[in-house]
Amino acid sequence: MRYLPLATLLIVTQAAAQNPGQAQQNDTTRKLGVVQIIATPSGRGEDRAVSAVGKLELKSVSAGTSALKVIERLPGINFQSADPWGRYEWSTRVTVRGFQTGQIGQTFDGLPLGDMSYGNYNGLGVGRAVDSENLAGAGVAQGSGALGTASANNLGGVIQYASDAPKANRTLSLNQTLGSANTYRTVLRWDTGLWTSGENGLSSFISISRHDNDKWKGGFVPSSPVNKGILGRNGLFHDGQTWQEQVNAKLVGFFGKHRVTGYYGFSNRSEGDYTDLSLARFNSSGRNWDQYSDWNTARAAAVSTNQDEAYWQSALGARRDNIGYLLVDLGLGENARLAVQPYLHKNIGNGDWTAPSYGASWSPDPIYFRQTQYDGDRNGANARFNVTAGGNRFEAGLWMENNTTNIRRVGWRLVNAASGPTVDFNNIIRLFFDRTGDIQTTVFYAQNSNRLMDQKLKLTYGAKYLNVTADYHSNGNTANATTFGDAGRPDFSVTAKGEFLPQIGAVWTLNGNDELFANFSENVNQFPLSPQSGVYNLSAAGFDAFKKNVKPERASTLDLGIRTKREGVEASLALYSVDYRNRLVSIANCQLTATCASVFSNVGSITSYGMEGLVVWQMAPAWNLATSASFNSSKINDDYTSGTTVVKAKGKRVVDAPVALWSSTLKYRNEGWSGNIGTRFTDQRYFSILNDMSVPSSLLFDGGAGYTFGNFGAAKDVNVQFNISNIFDASYIASVGTGGFSTSGDLQTLMAGARRLMFFTIGASF
C-alpha cells in the first residue's frame, strides 16, 4: 500500500479489480478526492510484505464481525477469539511472525489504537472505534509498518483500518440480523449524498446500531449496575447478556485542492465473560465448561485445591468510548501537501469479577466481589508534509500524544457469602490500587523515494525517532480499606527511546506482470506502561533494578519477495528473517485473580524466519478462490533466571506461535447471488515457555450465501444473507494466553472456540 497522508487508506475490492470502470463510476471517494484506491490483496507495488481485505470480504461474514477476524484469511495472521464475531475483548488475540498482540501496531484512519491490552490504558479495539458496517477495508504489513505509522509497539507489523466514505447519493440503509445465541442486530445509516459547487463538495453519513446476544454457553447475571447509553439498558428486541450500541458520523469535504474530513464515534458496550480453561479442564469437561451458575458449587470451589475455577457467573467487561478527529489536508502548490490531524479519545469502563480470595486475611469470606475501574483521556495530533521535486518524493511527519490513564481496583464484601452473591457496596474490604499514569509519546520521521533504471527500480529510505515517557503516581483514597502497598508507593518516571530507527525498501519491476520487493526495518517497543500491570506494578526495589538494567525490546526485520499478476491470477511469496532482541518477560507471582507486584526483565533474544504466500485465482467470471499459507519458526535463543531458578528456555519455540497456518476461501458472485465457503488450519500452539504444554491443531469451516432481489417500491437493493460459523461443530481451543503463559505445566489461560452458530440478515436502502 502507498501510505497516504496520515495513513488514510481504502482497499481495492476484487469486484473493483474485475470492473474498474464501474468502480470508478460508483466510488464516491474518487469524486471527493479524499483517498485513493491503493492496494491489491497481495500489496502490489509495495516495498514490504503487505496484504489487504476490502469491503466485499467484510460484508461476506456475519453482520457485526470484527475486521480483526476477517484478516485471519491473510498470510501469517493468527487471530483467535472465544466468540464467533471476534468481539469478546478479553479473549481477542492476534499474533504475527511469533510476535504477541501487544507487539503489533494498529491504527484507524491514521489514529493510534494502542496495544489492544484489555485494561485499555492507551487505546481501544477497532470494534469500538468504528462500527464494522462502516469499514472500507483493512491492510496488514506483516513485517513492519511505514515510518509514519502512529504506533509505539509495532515490532511485529501493523494493522491499518479505514472507515467507509459517504455515499454519493442520498440513502437511508437499514439492516436487521437474527441468529443463534439470541442474536439481534439493527443498523441504521443515513447518507446525505454529495453536494457540489464548482470545485467544492461536501458529503456525510451518520449511523446508529445496537447489537445484542447471549453467551453461546453458560449463564450471566451481573453483580453491579451496568452502564447506560443512548438507548438505555434494554435492546430493541432482546436484552442481551452481551450488548453494544454505536453511533458513527463522518463528514468529508473538498475545497479546490484542500480536503477536510471529520469523524466521531461513540460506543457503549457490556460483555458477559467466558471462563479461562486449563487444558486438563477442557479435556475432561469439554468446551461447555463455564463460570458457575450454582452458588453453593462456586463457594465450595473457593475453598478447594483448585480455587482458580471458583468464578461466579457475574464477570463482565463494560466500556464507553468517545473518539473523534479532524483531518485538514492542504494542497500547497502543484507538488506539495500538508496534512494535520488532531484527535481526542475519552474512555471509561469497568471489569467485574466475583472471585476467590485465596484465604487472604483481609477477606472474611472465601469469595468476594472485585471491580477494576478505567478512566482515560487521550489527545494528540498527526502531521505530515510531502513534496515531489527533482525525481524525489520527500516526506516528513510528526506524531504526538498526551495520555492520562487512571486505573482503580476495589474489593467489596458480599452481604452473606454463605447464601448468595449479593454485593454489599457499603462495605469496601480492599483497595488494591488507585493509580494514574501520564504518558507522552513523540515520533518524528523523514523519508525519501526515488525511481531509477528507467523507472523500474523504486527506492524508499528514511528513519524515525521515538520517545515515550510515563510519569506515575498513586492517588491514595485509602479510607475504609487496606491498600495494596500504594499508600507508600513512590512517584516515578520511565522513558523508552528509539534514537535512530532506519528503514529502507525497494521494488524492482521486472515486467508488466512481475516485481521483486525487499525491505529492512528497525523498530522498538515501548515498555509495558499500564498502571495496572506494567512497570508501575513493580515493587520499589524491582523498579530500581528495572531502571538500571532493562532496555526496550528491539527487532530488525528483513523481507524479500516476489509478486505476479496475470490474467485471472494474482500471487505473492515473501521470505523473512527477524532478529528480536532485549525480549522482555513479565513473571507472574500469584494466581490469575489475585493482585501482586510484577517482575520484568530482559531475557535474551529470539530468532524468527519463515515464508508467507497468497494466491487469488479468478477461476471464472463468477468464481474466485483465495488461498494463503505461511510457515514460521520462532525460537528462543537464551536461558534466563527467574528468581533463583534457571529457566532452560534456549531452543524452545515461542508460545502461541503456530508453525503452519493455512486459509482458503471459495467465493461465488453472479446475477444477485453470492456465496462463500472457507476453511482455516491452525497448527499446534504452545502455552508454556518450556514447551511441555500445548493445544492441538484445528481445522475449521465457515460459509455464507446471499441474494439481492433489487427494488421493491421505495425499497432498493433488498438483500438477504445467511452465515454459518464452525460448520462441522468442531470442538477446539481458540485463544491461548488469556491468563498469561506458564513456565511449565498447565494453567487457566485457554478459551474454547464457539460452537456452530447461524445468522440471518435482511437489508434494504431507501
Using an 8 Å Cβ cutoff, are 473 and 491 in contact?
yes
What pLDDT shows up at residue 293?
92
Query: d(Cα 95, Cα 688) in Å, to the nearest integer?
Result: 16
pLDDT over 60 (residue 36): no
358 band by pLDDT with thresholds 50, 70 and 90: confident
pLDDT at 21: 34
Quote the CA–CA distance of 485 and 430 in Å, as a whole number.
Answer: 11
What local confidence, expressed as pLDDT, does residue 587 receive? 57
Q: Is residue 37 predicted with pLDDT exceeding 70?
A: no
Q: Which of 26-40, 130-144, 207-221 has the highest mean pLDDT?
A: 207-221
Cβ–Cβ < 8 Å for 129, 168: no
Place 31 in a pLDDT band, splitting at 50, 70 and 90.
very low
Looking at residue 483, its pLDDT comes to 64
CA distance linking residue 111 with residue 128, whole number of Å: 13
Nearest-5° Cα angle at 460, 457 to 464: 170
Find the largest Cα–Cα distance for the chain. Answer: 81
- Other C-beta atoms within 10 Å of 565: how many? 18
Q: Are 8 and 327 in contact (CB under 8 A)?
A: yes
Residue 305 in this model has a pLDDT that exceeds 90: no
| Each residue's pLDDT tens digit, 123-158 | 999 999 999 999 998 888 887 777 888 999 888 888
Mean pLDDT of the chain: 87
Give me the phi and psi of 426, to 5 degrees please: -95, 0
pLDDT higher than threshold 80 for residue 260: yes
In whole angstroms, what is the distance from residue 172 CA to residue 553 CA? 49
Cell numbers 483481609: residue: 362
Query: Which residue has better confidence, 491 or 226?
Result: 491
Question: What's residue 306's pLDDT?
Answer: 79
Measured from the Cβ of residue 677, the count of other Cβ atoms closer than 10 Å reads 16
pTM reported for the whole predicted model:
0.91
How confident is the model over 435-476, as pLDDT tens digits?
999 999 999 999 999 999 988 999 999 999 999 999 999 887
What pLDDT shows up at residue 8? 36
- Rounded average pLDDT over 44-62: 82
Per-residue model confidence (pLDDT) at position 33: 29
pLDDT confidence tier of residue 229, bands split at 50, 70 and 90: low
- Measure Cα distances from 39 to 2, 10, 569 in Å: 7, 8, 16
Q: Give the count of alpha carbons within 13 A of 21, CB side only.
A: 0
The pLDDT-based confidence of 572 (bands split at 50, 70, 90) is: very high
Length of the chain: 766
**Predicted confidence (pLDDT) at residue 344 exceeds the cutoff of 70:** yes
400 φ, ψ (degrees, to nearest 5): -130, 140
Mean pLDDT of 209-224: 90
What mean pLDDT is predicted for residues 112-117? 90
pLDDT number for residue 11:
38
Cβ neighbours of residue 510 closer than 8 Å, sequence gap 6 or more: 456, 516
Position 267: which residue type? S
Averaged pLDDT for residues 708-724: 91
Task: Measure the CA–CA gap between 447 and 504, rounded to whole angstroms.
Answer: 9
Report yes or no: 628 and 678 within 8 Å, Cβ to Cβ. Answer: no
CB 224 within 8 A of CB 270: no
Count of helices and strands (H, E) across the chain:
9, 39
Cell 525498501 locates to: 505
Q: Is pLDDT larger for residue 229 or for residue 649?
A: 649
Instruction: Tell me the pLDDT band of 232, cut-offs 50, 70 and 90.
Output: low
Q: What is the pLDDT of residue 228?
A: 62
Q: What is the mean pLDDT of residues 695-716?
A: 93
For residue 485, what pLDDT is reported?
63
Buried b (16+ CB within 10 A) or exposed e, 352-361: bbbbbbeebe
* Per-residue pLDDT, 7: 35
Residue 116: per-residue pLDDT = 84
The pLDDT of residue 9 is above 60: no
pLDDT of residue 249 exceeding 90, the answer is yes
Nearest in space to 137 (alpha carbons), one of 269, 266, 14, 260: 14
256 CB-contact burial (10 Å; exposed 0-12 / middle 13-18 / buried 19+): exposed
In the chain, the domains with their CATH numbers are 5-477+484-765 (2.40.170.20)
Identify the pLDDT of residue 25: 31
**Contact between 517 and 506 (Cβ < 8 Å):** yes
| pLDDT value of residue 539 | 73
Q: Return the C-alpha cell found at 131.
A: 462500527
Query: At residue 30, does pLDDT exceed 50?
Result: no
Query: In sequence order, what are the residues at sequence separation of 6 or more whose Cβ sits closer than 8 angstroms to the Cβ of residue 306?
Result: none
